[in-house]
Amino acid sequence: MSVLTDLNTYMSIISPAFKGYIKLRQSAIDNFMHNPIDTQQQVFNHLIGSAQFTEYGKKYNFERIDSISDFQKIVPINDYETLKPYIQRILEGTQNVLWPSPITWFAKSSGTTSDKSKFIPVSKESLDDTHFRGGRDVLALYLKENPKSELTSGKCLVLGGSHQINQLNAASFFGDLSAVMLQNMPLAGQLFRLPELSIALMTEWEDKIERMAHSTISENVTYIAGVPTWTIVLIKRILEITGATNLLEIWPNLELYIHGGVNFTPYRRQFEQFIPSPYMSYRETYNASEGFFAAQDRDDEEGMLLFLNHGIFYEFMPQSEYGSENPRMLTLKEVELYKNYAIVISTNGGLWRYLVGDTVQFTSLNPFRIKVTGRLKHFINAFGEEVIVDNADNAIAAACAETGATVVDYSAAPVYMTGENNGAHEWIIEFDHLPVSLETFTVLLDKSLQAINSDYEAKRYKDMALRMPIVHAMPRDGFKKWLKDKGKLGGQHKVPRLNNERKYLEEMLAYLNPTN
């Protein structure tokens, strides 16, 4: 029997099984949507019960915790630095520290704005019940809305990060989350994804894009998953190689793009040009090394459905409480619509009351849907303007809609007041297309931001605190060069869009010279 025949036989067996699994997950999703508080209580009880005899559980008397309020009184809020001593011991081979099951895998995560690496413990439970389940639930949600979809007849093109696996010691391994998942993925999952393993394992990102483009052209790609910036780079290269005018000429059955990592709003217009189909669906996801948190369940909904039975217990800190000695913490019963919260998680990988660093807003309370509004450290508030990434993304999108411009990426930071000048915001924007003058775009960007953010509008009144923004046009691939020079070129790394300090903007300014 040929390899192809073997593969076809295997696919004929797993396809009905996968459809059966999807139906089970759709039922489970319906259950937590209709019983969110009870579901979270069950997750909480399971986490506390499972970890009561770990070192961390013994230290904080998990055995005596009877309620969520007990948990909040006894267990401190953590970030990576406060959990690092425990994680370091796990890295060295000690077990039963934060979580009872053996942990041999670690997702290496390094934010764009930090040179320090974080090693997030990945238990078998967090792989199976959080990350893999979350990925399958994205498909379950989509297929529930589109029961006649032919999505499973083709393959998914995945633009993950670097898949290189590194060995810490005889029993421990680390890589970015994409690598950890690929190494632990069941065979059935690998058969449905592209590119092939040898390309996925490549560490040099530019060569990987080239190999991906050439190797996937003849495949039946029905959906794509990846960060918009790098997906656009791949799409452009594929169109260059084939001479096609749009992606549907290459992949006529393409029907879904799954994105995350950055706000999709500034990129939507470009994707609609690349994929000119009224039936194309775009679904946002919210996943990180720490967990798979949410995914868009409807095309016509702004927010993402919060995943409530995926081994994660959620708390929410009002953003105004950040930095307080005893911050007020809310559960799902207490949150309100369109208030900014820092998300805090306790997980089946041993992260306890862990401050992820992202800020979210609830767009719906029945069911619970959220949107990511930025990072706790990614904002500009040098003059009381409180501009967050969500504001900036939407202002960029509005200026693009009015001018016909398309933006590749951007970054901004404050210009502080001097004896002669009031303050300002300084922007570096890389355009794919700018049909108007940079001055015209700047005026519309400023106008849009004032319409979105009343605090910014007040500071701009008669230039009293803030004068007109200073905007520079970054040469093509300038941000890409900046990331490459910092050793951060790849799928999971992103340009910091807002920063309250000028360190990264000052570095980027050097790339405005095309000869750099």
Query: According to the model, what pLDDT value does residue 6 have?
Result: 42
What does the pLDDT average to over 488-516? 82
Model pTM score: 0.81
For 318-340, the pLDDT digits (tens) are 988 888 888 999 999 999 999 99
Task: Please state which of the ranges 12-16, 99-103, 223-227 shows the lowest mean pLDDT.
Answer: 12-16
E strands within 171-273?
173-175, 193-194, 221-226, 256-259
What does the pLDDT average to over 275-302? 93
Query: According to the model, what pLDDT value does residue 461 have?
Result: 84
Share of the chain above pLDDT 70, in %: 92
The domains of the chain, with CATH numbers, are 379-512 (3.30.300.30)
What does the pLDDT average to over 383-401? 90
Whether the pLDDT of residue 4 is over 60: the answer is no
Query: According to the model, what pLDDT value does residue 472 have?
Result: 97
Query: According to the model, what pLDDT value does residue 8 have?
Result: 43
For 186-221, the pLDDT digits (tens) are 776 777 889 887 888 777 778 888 999 999 999 999
Whether the pLDDT of residue 223 is over 90: the answer is yes
Whether the pLDDT of residue 14 is over 60: the answer is no
Continuous H helices in 170-218: 177-184, 187-191, 197-200, 205-216
User: Contact 162/230 with Cβ under 8 angstroms?
Assistant: no
For 58-91, the pLDDT digits (tens) are 999 999 999 999 999 999 999 999 999 999 999 9
| Cα separation, 64 vs 88, whole angstroms | 27
What does the pLDDT average to over 402-425? 88
pLDDT category, 45, cuts 50, 70, 90?
A: very high
Share of the chain above pLDDT 90, in %: 64
Task: Please state which of the ranges 139-148, 179-188, 389-398, 426-435 shows the lowest mean pLDDT.
Answer: 179-188
Query: According to the model, what pLDDT value does residue 3 have?
Result: 35
Residue whose structure tokens are 């059955």? 253
Query: According to the model, what pLDDT value does residue 201 have?
Result: 74
Query: According to the model, what pLDDT value does residue 310 have?
Result: 97
pLDDT category, 224, cuts 50, 70, 90?
A: very high
CA distances, 358 to each of 188, 191, 349 (Å): 33, 33, 19
H or E, element range at 228: helix 228-242
Mean of the per-residue pLDDT values of the chain: 89
Query: According to the model, what pLDDT value does residue 1 have?
Result: 35
Q: Which of 7-21, 49-63, 105-119, 287-301 has the highest mean pLDDT?
A: 49-63
Q: Which residue has the higher pLDDT, 484 or 61?
A: 61
Whether the pLDDT of residue 399 is over 80: the answer is yes
For 129-177, the pLDDT digits (tens) are 999 999 999 999 999 999 999 998 899 999 876 656 777 777 788 888 8
The amino acid at residue 175 is G
Query: According to the model, what pLDDT value does residue 515 have?
Result: 58
| Cα separation, 392 vs 50, whole angstroms | 42
CA distances, 43 to each of 188, 191, 345 (Å): 28, 32, 12
If we measure between CA atoms, which residue out of 132, 177, 129, 142 comes closest to residue 305? 142
Query: According to the model, what pLDDT value does residue 9 have?
Result: 39
| Cα separation, 510 vs 516, whole angstroms | 7
What does the pLDDT average to over 275-301? 94
The amino acid at residue 462 is K
Angle at 25 between CA 364 and CA 374, to 5 degrees: 35
pLDDT category, 490, cuts 50, 70, 90?
A: low
For 87-144, the pLDDT digits (tens) are 999 999 999 999 999 999 999 875 443 445 789 999 999 999 999 999 999 999 999 9
pLDDT category, 379, cuts 50, 70, 90?
A: confident
